[in-house]
Structure 1
Amino acid sequence: MTRHLLPLALAAAIAFPAVAGAADTQPPPRIVVSGEGQATVAPDLALLTLSVMREAKTARAALDANNDAMAAVIAAMKSSGIKDRDLQTAGIQINPRYNYTNKPDGSQEAELIAYQVTNTLSVRVRDVDKTGEILDKAVSLGVNQGGGITFTNDNPAATVTEARKKAVADAMAKARTLAEAAGVSIGRVLEITDQNVPPPPMPINAKAFDVQGGSVPVQAGENSYTVQVTVTFELK
């Protein structure tokens, strides 16, 4: 019996339809657009950084003086309605202070003058309207170094959701405009990615406060939350 071998050229032609079938699975035309949405809300939380610095001849004396002053500040915070969970020590520093004098040979002689102890307290004020009053009490009772205030929101989820909806609507509007200009129409959504952009903090330098009588005037303003999305649409 005679066996017939298939020519190589014919073998290649028979395999070709599989390659053509793979080409049929290529993704449909698509368009990728970005959108941005923004929503604002009044702050409901003030973050304070308060520091007490005391100086004395010895580190022990400076620490004791600082402890007394900070204890009074903490007591004032609690009497104003600040809970224990919203009071946190942010750091304690003990530093020697020297006086330097020039010697005839050009060198310097260091003389220990005192020790400085600085205790820093972080405070969360949940009643923003009391921020000025609380700051005024703190300064009156011993806070004597720069700190700051940052106004933020305890739970901005609802505001971020509003911004996210606006971002998606913005992306869809852009996609329709581009598709119409190109003579096509958009189809189903293939992919959505989003990025939540936190609002920049609104710090206020505590050194700038006028603490001569009365509560410190404080304006909380509002926070703006921005969401950016990237949406991929199918084109029809």
Structure 2
Amino acid sequence: MNQYKKLAMAAAAVLVLGAAGCAGAAGQTAQTQTGTGDNQITVTGKSCVNVVPDMAKIVFAVNTEGVSAEDTQKENTEKMNQVIETLKSMNIDEKCIRTSDYTMYPQYDYGYGNSQQIIGYQVGATLTISDQKIEDVGTILTKGVKAGINSVSEISYSSSKYDEIYQEALKQAVDASNVKAEALAKASGKTLGSIKMMTEGYEDESSRYYQTNSMISGMTKDQESMVSIQPGEQAVRAEVNVTYELK
């Protein structure tokens, strides 16, 4: 199997994300905790809402090797400039393009007993491309590889509607707490009264982004087929703690 086919298979394996959504959930979940006091009951309601991500962040690099540090750095800069120009030609805003890392290491030959001999240098420049539409990611990767990209280390997915979906999840969490509180009140021979206190539970901000570390390296500009992106679903979770009066 040639290098291109191996890379294509690697890309398909790491870029097709499995759903990280609400397993078995359709709206509310019934995971609650309860506590009792003087004519009061406290319920913790939880909810999970799935959303399909529509935005992506890509982290990729241009790595070059050479005998001379100066020549290797020059070659890397030229290739990186080609990549940046390609990105701009795709109408990607400059504020979305950031150089996030730059490295240069000597390469050694350890075949001289206890001595080390420098035989070359490796230079790597990393770009982070943020706030891109999901449907454009495949094109960005394909054209970027042709321009000089030879390593992709990360793709992160997010939803531009996260805040809206989180508000929906909060409402469902309140509904879930109402259902549980009604059942517990009835089981204790009482009726459910008004809400005495309500607090929002912990919001996991990391759920704003769904990330995969793809680690695709050795890509070549001979790659012609478009990389396919399948982001799957993103789980947005909410939690509320509600204290009710018992009558």
TM-score between the two structures when normalised by the length of structure 2: 0.77
Give the count of matched residue pairs: 206
Q: For residue 204 of structure 2, what is the aligned residue in structure 1?
A: 197
* Structure 1 residues 168-213: Cα deviation after superposition (integer angstroms, max 9, x where no partner): 1001111111111011122221222222234261415151898732
Q: For residue 187 of structure 1, what is the aligned residue in structure 2?
A: 193
- Give the counterpart of 1:221 among 232, 239, 242: 232
Superposed counterparts of 1:72-91, under 5 Å? 72-91=82-101
Change in CA separation of 1:229 and 1:208 when aligned onto 2, cut-off 3 Å: farther
Please give the alpha-carbon distance, in whole angstroms, between the structure 2 residues aligned to 1:218 and 1:149. 10
Of residues 27-36 and 126-135 in structure 1, the stretch that sits farther from structure 2 once superposed is 27-36
**Are 2:246 and 1:235 equivalent residues in the alignment?**
yes
Please give the alpha-carbon distance, in whole angstroms, between the structure 1 residues aligned to 2:217 and 2:69. 30
> What is the SS of the residue equivalent to 2:160?
coil
8 Å Cα contact 1:46/1:150 also seen in 2: yes
| C-alpha displacement of 1:29 | 2.3
Superposed counterparts of 1:101-120, under 5 Å? 101=111, 103=113, 108-120=114-126
Please give the alpha-carbon distance, in whole angstroms, between the structure 2 residues aligned to 1:46 and 1:85. 15
Structure 2 gap segments, 5+ residues each: 1-36
| C-alpha displacement of 1:122 | 0.3
Please give the alpha-carbon distance, in whole angstroms, between the structure 2 residues aligned to 1:163 and 1:209. 42
**Are 2:176 and 1:165 equivalent residues in the alignment?**
no
**Are 2:165 and 1:135 equivalent residues in the alignment?**
no
- Give the counterpart of 2:108 among 88, 98, 112: 98
Please give the alpha-carbon distance, in whole angstroms, between the structure 1 residues aligned to 2:133 and 2:54. 7
8 Å Cα contact 1:77/1:134 also seen in 2: yes
Amino acid at match of 1:197: D
Change in CA separation of 1:228 and 1:166 when aligned onto 2, cut-off 3 Å: same
* Structure 1 residues 141-193: Cα deviation after superposition (integer angstroms, max 9, x where no partner): 11112412111123411110111100110011111111110111222212222
8 Å Cα contact 1:167/1:229 also seen in 2: yes
| C-alpha displacement of 1:59 | 2.0
| C-alpha displacement of 1:220 | 2.0
> What is the SS of the residue equivalent to 1:193?
strand
8 Å Cα contact 2:145/2:219 also seen in 1: no
8 Å Cα contact 1:149/1:206 also seen in 2: no
- Percent identical residues: 29
Please give the alpha-carbon distance, in whole angstroms, between the structure 2 residues aligned to 1:69 and 1:33. 59
Amino acid at match of 1:98: Y
RMSD after superposition: 2.1
Amino acid at match of 2:148: G
> What is the SS of the residue equivalent to 2:130?
strand
TM-score between the two structures when normalised by the length of structure 1: 0.80
Larger radius of gyration: 1
